[in-house]
Amino acid sequence: MNPEPARLGAEISANEVWRTLPAARQRVVVAVYKFRDQTGQYKPQVNGSSFSTAVTQGATSVLLRALEESKWFDPIERENLGNLLNERKIIRSTRAEYTEQTGQAQPLLPPLLFAGIILEGGIISYDSNILTGGAGLRYFGAGASGQYRQDRVTVYLRAISTSTGKILKTVYTSKTILSQQVDASLFQFVKFKRLLETETGFTYNEPSEMAVKDAIEKSVQALIYEGIQQRIWAPADTSAQHSPSMQAYLREKQENLAIDVLGRKTSYRQRALGVGVLGGAQLYQGDYALPQYRSSGELTVRHRLGDGHVGTFLNAGYGALAAGPRGRYFNREYTYGELGLQASLFPHDRFTPYLLAGGGVTVPLNRTSDAGPRTVPHAVLGLGGEFLVTPRLGFAVGIDNRYYFGDQIDGVSLGRYNDYNWGGRAGVIFYLGKERSSDFYKK
């Protein structure tokens, strides 16, 4: 807990990006009058009110430094222009008095630079608690928990021609602000009338000023690349149009079209048709006691409809049901086919939970003439999740229940309830065909 000396301001990844920018053919003189906080928001608090603003009021200074660091612009003072003009008046007045007193002529002040481009914009949004969550566990007085919260700041920046007033280009960037809290505690009697209680933890809040700095620097970089693309200004080397840094920016811009407001990538599920192989185990539930687990395999074809929230599935499977020690009471193999609908909760995310429901027919194998029907209709209901390793390869895991419309799947009809089984499966799904159009994400 010792006090620390003053240090240089913390730098972030943008300084690496400055070094990858192509060199400018000629620096552009730009003026920034005011880059303001336009959110009008105050710091969020659980209880009471705060008169401190949510974001810094010194964004103009942050922008001027970013322009200077980029080596593409020569920023000139306009935020406190009145102070500059007053100081120049004082200089001229002092020189004039000196000339009158000494008779020695003094040089005139050089003229002020004028800007070819004005930069305008500001911090237009600060969204609190766009994402919150946490987890915890406690057992016999000992436990730990963690919580997190995510805010977001958004910046707009536009370049305006001073000769025509035309807005040459507008860019906008955003940056999330993360807050985390982790704690652990113990509350336990170690012996009679002796209670041990301890707790520890830490809280981390990403500085909002650094988030604003990151967003503003990103907007300056985007403005440079967009200006090169539209020939507003030019790099020293004409081949910079195809430089790795320019290609990386264009790739990031294209990928950004498939990222939602929470930063989740939504372009994984572009192909409608999938073919998969799943394997697992199933547990018989029927008229015999001591049900046993038996292996099963399944081929599946899945086709998503429309925007992907709802799709169809066609399954063909093989498995066994058994009861009793080593299947002595009942042991039979089956094949089945089924058709139904599948609903995906997040169809455009890399991971999505899903629900499925449908119906089909089960066909007993190694069947004797007096051991039940030839076919048994059934209904299937299941839930699971799927994770896309690549846009063409997914890993799925789930559980399902098959309810038979009859009580003779095991060859015995007893009691009031029909037979059914539980199954658990995991496997891979391969997606076929070309990528769908991304028009859906542009709506």
pLDDT of residue 269: 61
> Sign of torsion, CA 274 277 281 283?
positive
Burial 87-117 (b: 16+ CB within 10 A, else e): eeeeeeeebeeeeeeeeeeeeeeeeeeebeb
Of 361 and 391, the one with more pLDDT: 361
Radius of gyration of the chain (CA): 34
pLDDT of residue 437: 47
Q: CA-CA-CA-CA torsion for 334, 338, 341, 345, nearest 10 degrees? A: 20
pLDDT of residue 139: 87
CA distances in angstroms from 102 to 90, 93, 107, listed in the order given: 18, 14, 14
| Lookup: tokens for 151 | 């805010």
Could you give the angle at the alpha carbon of 364 between the alpha carbons of 359 and 365, nearest 5°?
A: 140
Whether residue 195 has pLDDT greater than 50:
yes
CATH 3.90.1150.10 fits 273-442, yes or no: no
- Kindly report, residue by residue over 324-349, the tens digit of the pLDDT: 888 888 888 999 999 999 999 888 78
CA neighbor of 150 nearest in space, from 179, 124, 126, 173: 179
pLDDT of residue 237: 86
HSE value, Cβ hemisphere, 13 Å, CA-based, for 39:
23
Residues 43, 50: contact at Cβ < 8 Å? yes
Split at pLDDT 50, 70, 90, the class of 400 is very high
Q: Which CATH code, of 3.40.190.290, 1.20.1440.230, 3.40.50.1220, 3.40.50.10610, is assigned to 14-78+115-256?
A: 3.40.50.10610
pLDDT of residue 165: 92
Largest CA distance in the chain: 131
Rounded CA-CA distance 128/46 in Å is 12
Average pLDDT over residues 286-304: 91
Rounded CA-CA distance 278/283 in Å is 16
pLDDT of residue 183: 93
- Kindly report, residue by residue over 8-49, the tens digit of the pLDDT: 877 766 567 788 888 899 999 999 999 988 887 777 666 655
Average pLDDT over residues 435-441: 47
pLDDT of residue 267: 62
- In whole angstroms, what separates CA 260 from the centre of its chain? 7
> What mean pLDDT is reported for the chain?
87
- In whole angstroms, what separates CA 124 from the centre of its chain? 21
pLDDT of residue 37: 87
| Lookup: tokens for 137 | 């566990």
Instruction: Determine what percent of the chain is predicted with pLDDT higher than 90.
Output: 47
Residues in the chain: 443
**Domain residue ranges in the chain:** 14-78+115-256, 273-442
Whether residue 145 has pLDDT greater than 90:
yes
pLDDT of residue 288: 87
Strand boundaries in 140-235, DSSP class E = 142-161, 167-191, 194-205
- Kindly report, residue by residue over 84-137, the tens digit of the pLDDT: 999 999 999 999 999 988 888 888 889 999 999 999 999 998 888 888 999 999
CA distances in angstroms from 280 to 224, 296, 368, 425, listed in the order given: 55, 5, 27, 4
pLDDT of residue 367: 57
CA neighbor of 116 nearest in space, from 27, 35, 36, 34: 27
CA distances in angstroms from 300 to 63, 90, 273, 342, 391, listed in the order given: 55, 84, 11, 12, 18
Look-up of token digits 């009580």: 407
User: Residue 274 is inside which H or E element, if any?
Assistant: strand 273-285
Whether residue 187 has pLDDT greater than 70:
yes
Whether residue 441 has pLDDT greater than 50:
no
- Kindly report, residue by residue over 213-267, the tens digit of the pLDDT: 999 999 999 999 999 999 899 898 888 888 888 898 888 888 888 777 777 776 6
DSSP state letter for 164 = T
